[in-house]
Chain A
Amino acid sequence: MSTRKIRHAFVPLAALLGAALLAGCTSDAPPDAPAGAASAAAGAPGTGRQSKFFDRAEYDRQLALAKESPQGPAGKPWEQMLRPQLVDTTQYKKKGSGGIHLCLSNAGVFNPWRQVGLKNMQAEAGLHKEITDFTVLDAQGKDDKQISDIQELAGQGCDVLIVSPNTTATLTPAVEQACGKVPVIVFDRGVETDCAVTFINPIGGYGYGAVAADFLVEKVKPKGKILALRISPGVDVLETRWSAAKVALDKSGLDVVDVKFTDGDPAKTKAIVTDAITRNGDIDGVWMDSGATSVAAVEAFEDAGKDVPPITGEDQQDFLQVWKEEKLTAIAPSYPTFQWRTPVIAALKILKGEQVPKEWKLPQPTVTQDTLDQYLKPGMPPLHYAMCGCENLPGFPEKWGGKK
């Protein structure tokens, strides 16, 4: 009886101690050596080990693309393209009259970025009289359901099937199947097949991360303390942003004191930034892999009574507003939501037999101090994305939740 009793108490106690030890194992590290590095890689810089998914060639390509100027109508970035390699689409030319039936298999609308994007696409589809049907199936973030959705749409008489995949690799078989039945357009995340007529996406995560990191390298004094805030680990599109920033920051001689995950939660972000400020005395720059929590980070500095250091965000309305009001030193790279307009335009081109690029690379504009006023639209809701290219679409701004 007694042994059992002791065991009951001992096992959890041991686990608790073990966990406490694990949590406490870096407690004597000097404050300027980030604790996160200890478990990441010994001897590595404060940014930790490089992601094993880091793709040097793709990184170089994106950085080169970012320097080029796109082809296409000025002022309409959603119709522009970078280094296009046009392919012939006469085989898909729609015969006979009758309305066009457009279909979208959407990964979901689980964040404001996707919500703004879907509105863009619906408005774009509404612009064209020849589109009589626009079917949208929402997979609610389930890969499995999206596969069924794609199968369902492929057999439903769509003229073109647009796919915004939930996961890069996992939708490949379904898209391959659908390609045999109907012209397919993939956008945002890619799939591992080139059977789609065109794959539409902006420059990409490396470009995003590098722009933000280069800004800090330029604005922050040498050896300045940088706090890097990421949404969550394990998400491919966010990993690329961080790994590009890591390359730039490691080279710069800036001191990355912390790399933290915020889960996209503003409250947690504020707590993390507050702790970082008190622990390091001062933070000289903040790098963020997306904008959802930038305002919380800015507020953490304000509440601590400190000046907000150079900070990076995204083209979200609330951040742009704080930027202007508080006269921040800031930059906002974007992953533009105007890319949701392009698939509809591409679909119509394909059905007319016009050439489209095999990979339609869209520009990825950055909001800088000079262009801030151009993107900041009073009356738009705080979670709106400024890079929507939706200002001239019917129903703007009410449909996007804004006020005239």
Chain B
Amino acid sequence: MTSAQAPAGRRVLSALTTGTPVYILLAALLAALALTDPGFYEPDRFLSFIKRAAPLVILAAGQYLVIVCGEFDLSVGAIVTAGVVVAAELYGSFPGAPWLLVTVILLLAGALAGLVSGLITTLLRVPSFITTLGMMLILEGAVFFWTGGSPHGALPAAFRRLGRGTAFGWLPWAVLVCVVAGLLAVRLMRSDFGRTLLATGDSERAASLAGVRVARARTIAFILSGAAAALAAVLVGGFSGVSAQAGRGYEFEAITAVVLGGVVLGGGRGSVVAAMAGAFSLQALFTLLNLQGVSGALESTVQGVIVIAAVALGAADWSRLRRRGTEPSGAKSS
């Protein structure tokens, strides 16, 4: 019943069917962008579009890992904010710190936040929605309590190169980072661990009976999500500099992206590529709305309608395919 146990052909089919709507949506949005703005596909503009999407794509990949094993991570936005502020604070105290060291510290700190969330969720059996909501409050509160409201330092150019600069003079580093992170995520989901994760989300009981260490798998998912959020923080901080609200709203955007990708909240189904495609779609939607100049205030209305409609479209397709018998019942729609 899980994709892991299904034969390969079926797995490919199921991966495609869960993802199809998002690819159609992405194609439609990219086509709309091309119509609106003929220059959109000039290499450097398209690359800069990917550069802008990179943090959300990375967040979506991390969020996917958590969602697919049946949990939520609402703390990613706070981790992004905290990451940017902590980096600036570090540079305030140690202006000469090498950027690689600061980046690694951030990734470790993000992983640590994820580890704590994961342990609380699995060991103390607190619903992850609450764990990560609490983590969000704690991180935001702690970081601003520590810095007294605003970070003391600015981010130097070396640290910001990942988010702002280009390699070879034309390829934004953020695009490279995004591609590498994406490949790693795909690789991860093809590994034994990926299958374990899917199995855990599909049926905790069955996975546990089959010898899967469910708690461990979930905790690792949280750690990876935290580290992904920290990586996004490096890109966001690099792209736009110090801000006290760098990550605001990212948690909902990441979850929306994952769900747009056809991943079922509650776990067990969906592909990481589709989740990342969901992130690209969302970014394409933002760009389109911005280019179209839909009256600023109504922008969020259009966004809301499109997100609901896209997910509904996915659900409709899916239920029809299910009736054809591709997949047994057990799907939870809410």
Chain A residues in the interface with B (C-beta under 8 A) = 5, 8-9, 11-13, 15-16, 18-20, 22-24, 26-27, 34-36, 38-40, 48, 109, 111-112, 115-116, 119, 230, 233-234, 258-261, 263-267, 269-272, 274-275, 278-279, 292, 295-296, 299, 303, 318, 321, 381-384, 399, 401-403
Contacts and interface: CB of A to CB of B under 8 A. Distances in A.
Nearest to A260: B296
B150 A267 contact: no
A16 B311 CA distance: 10
Contact of B299 (A13, A234, A261, A383): A261
B241 interface: yes
Contacts of B150: 112, 115-116, 381-384, 401
Best-buried of B37, B289, B291 by chain A (most CB within 10 Å): B291
Contacts of A270: 239-240
Contacts of B291: 275, 279
Contacts of A261: 296-297, 299
Given A264-B245, A292-B243, A233 B296 contact: yes
B117 to A, nearest CB: 24
Given A35-B293, A109-B149, A275-B287, 9 more contacts: A26-B292, A26-B293, A36-B296, A112-B150, A116-B149, A119-B148, A278-B39, A382-B154, A383-B151
A22 B302 contact: yes
Interface string B244-269: 11101100000000000000000000
A338 B289 CA distance: 39
A274 B291 CA distance: 11
Contacts of B293: 26, 34-36, 38, 258, 260
A27 B37 CA distance: 9
29 contacts: A8-B319, A8-B320, A13-B313, A15-B308, A15-B312, A16-B305, A16-B306, A20-B32, A23-B302, A34-B293, A35-B292, A36-B293, A39-B295, A40-B295, A111-B244, A112-B149, A112-B150, A261-B297, A265-B240, A267-B52, A270-B240, A271-B286, A275-B287, A279-B291, A295-B241, A303-B164, A318-B154, A382-B154, A383-B151
Q: Which residue, B35, B39, B149, B317, has most C-beta atoms of chain A within 10 A?
A: B149
Nearest to A257: B293
A40 B294 CA distance: 9
A270 to B, nearest CB: 5
Nearest to A233: B297
B49 to A, nearest CB: 9
Interface in B144-172: 147-154, 164
Nearest to B239: A267
B81 to A, nearest CB: 11
B313 A266 contact: no
B236 interface: yes
Contacts of A24: 32, 35-36, 292
Contacts of B309: 12-13, 15-16, 19
B24 to A, nearest CB: 10
B152 A381 contact: yes
Contacts of B311: 12
Contacts of B320: 5, 8-9
A381 B149 CA distance: 11
Contacts, number: 169
B76 interface: no
A108 to B, nearest CB: 12
A267 B289 contact: no
Interface of B: 28, 32, 35-37, 39, 45, 48, 52, 55, 88, 92, 147-154, 164, 236, 239-246, 248-249, 286-299, 302, 305-306, 308-313, 315-317, 319-320
Nearest to A380: B152
A263 B149 CA distance: 19
Nearest to B303: A19
Nearest to A269: B240
Nearest to B35: A27
Contact of A267 (B45, B246, B292, B295): B246
Given A12-B313, A274-B48, A278-B45, A19 B306 contact: yes
Contacts of B313: 9, 12-13, 16
Contacts of A384: 150
A230 B295 CA distance: 13
A52 to B, nearest CB: 13
B44 to A, nearest CB: 10
Given A22-B302, A271-B287, A383-B244, A259 B296 contact: yes
A391 B233 CA distance: 33
Nearest to B306: A19
Nearest to A300: B240
A15 B310 CA distance: 9
B135 to A, nearest CB: 19
B149 A382 contact: no
Nearest to B312: A12
B244 A112 contact: yes
Contact of B242 (A18, A264, A278, A318): A318
* Interface core residue of B236, B240, B249, B319 (most chain A CB under 10 Å): B240
Contacts of B296: 36, 230, 233, 259-261
A23 B294 contact: yes
A196 B303 CA distance: 43
B217 to A, nearest CB: 33
B315 to A, nearest CB: 8
B320 to A, nearest CB: 6
Contacts of A278: 37, 39, 45
Contacts of A36: 293-296
A97 B214 CA distance: 68
Contacts of B55: 267
Nearest to A274: B48
Interface centre among B243, B244, B249, B302 (most CB of A within 10 A): B243
Which 3 A-B pairs have CB atoms at the shortest separation, nearest pair first? A35-B293, A115-B149, A12-B312
A274 B305 CA distance: 26
B223 to A, nearest CB: 25
